[in-house]
Amino acid sequence: MSLLKTSLTGLKADSFRHPLDLEATKTLKQIPGLDMMVRNLLGPMAEQVFYVENIASSILVGEKQLPDLHKLLLEACQILDIDPPQLYVRQHPAPNAYTFAMRGKQPFVVIHTSLIEILTPEEIQAVIAHELGHLKCDHSVYLTPVNLLILAAAIVPNVGAVLAQAIQSQLLEWVRCAEFTCDRAALLATQDPKVVMSVLMKLAGGSPSLAPQLNLDAFVDQARAYDDISKTELGEMVKSARTAQLSHPVPVLRAREIDRWASSQEYQKLVQNHGINYKSESPSPGGWRNW
């Protein structure tokens, strides 16, 4: 399938960064010593752990290894104007994808096989682009402690427990806001809000057998109903309590945010004001398992 997309040459992170991401990042920057802790304590250790784990237990995607996935990566990087990271596929039953990067080091993205199993090629590219959004926005300084501090008490018992308790809530609040930004990166790469919202729908309730049966319009209606909960004070309190300890916003809320941003003048101008149109040759579904 050929799609005419806009390559966003010269795209800057702040041009699509979600306002909540900006606000939460300012709050995190006020935490003394966080950046130093990541660079000098958690960073070097995490780098070795993740590198060894991936090289030993995952598949590195390239021109000769899962080339269709590699092509999706390169296309997304071209559109978002970012250097390609390494992409790994990992056998895992929980649908997920994540990014790891330290400044000056080779960044990489990991996608679990169970997530690939429920997505179309276009949706997989949306997931890749979401992770590229973390790299484009230099989220790595704070993503590292988000991924590690929950386990820090076990890794460095005398230090980790105190640090985790002190800043975990602020880190979780930040990463939820950062996810909105990266969903925008997914939209910029796919240039189709239905693709991004479909990924979120399948994360909420998809499986290899159920995914083809899901109705996106019904899921968008569900997202709008979730908005209505906030019309009462009690409803807003319940929503806040529900999300306080989550590392990601709930899928219906993320879908609603993308639905709104895709209809905004901000998004339309951003795409129109950048670059070059080119045809994206997406791999046909026959090149993958039955979606």
- What tokens appear for 81 in the block? 């104007």
What is the Cα–Cα distance from 212 to 152, expressed in whole angstroms?
Answer: 40
Which conformational region is residue 275 in: left (phi greater than 0), alpha (psi within -120 to 50 degrees), or beta?
Answer: left
What is the Cα–Cα distance from 153 to 89, expressed in whole angstroms?
Answer: 29
Confidence of residue 25 (pLDDT cuts 50, 70, 90): confident
What is the Cα–Cα distance from 22 to 266, expressed in whole angstroms?
Answer: 16
* Cβ proximity of 150 and 245 under 8 Å: no
Average pLDDT over residues 159-174: 58
Active site residues: 131
Q: Residue 289: its pLDDT value, please? A: 24
Would you say residue 244 has pLDDT above 90? no
Residue with the bigger pLDDT between 182 and 240: it is 182
Place of tokens 């909105």: 180
Q: What are phi and psi of 100, to 5 degrees?
A: -135, 135
Residue with the bigger pLDDT between 83 and 103: it is 83
* Cβ proximity of 166 and 149 under 8 Å: no
Confidence of residue 102 (pLDDT cuts 50, 70, 90): low
| Beta pairing class for 276-281 and 97-100 | unpaired
Would you say residue 64 has pLDDT above 80? yes
* Cβ proximity of 92 and 110 under 8 Å: no
- What tokens appear for 31 in the block? 């935490």
pTM over 0.85: no
Average pLDDT over all residues of the chain: 78
Average pLDDT over residues 199-204: 95
DSSP assignment string, 201-234? HHHHH--TTTGGG--HHHHHHHHHHHHHGGGSHH
Residue with the bigger pLDDT between 288 and 275: it is 275
Average pLDDT over residues 239-252: 60
Q: Residue 280: its pLDDT value, please? A: 55
pLDDT tens, position by position, 109-153: 999 999 999 999 999 999 999 999 999 988 876 666 665 554 444
Place of tokens 């997202």: 223
| Beta pairing class for 86-90 and 58-60 | antiparallel
Q: Residue 170: its pLDDT value, please? A: 66
Residue with the bigger pLDDT between 291 and 177: it is 177
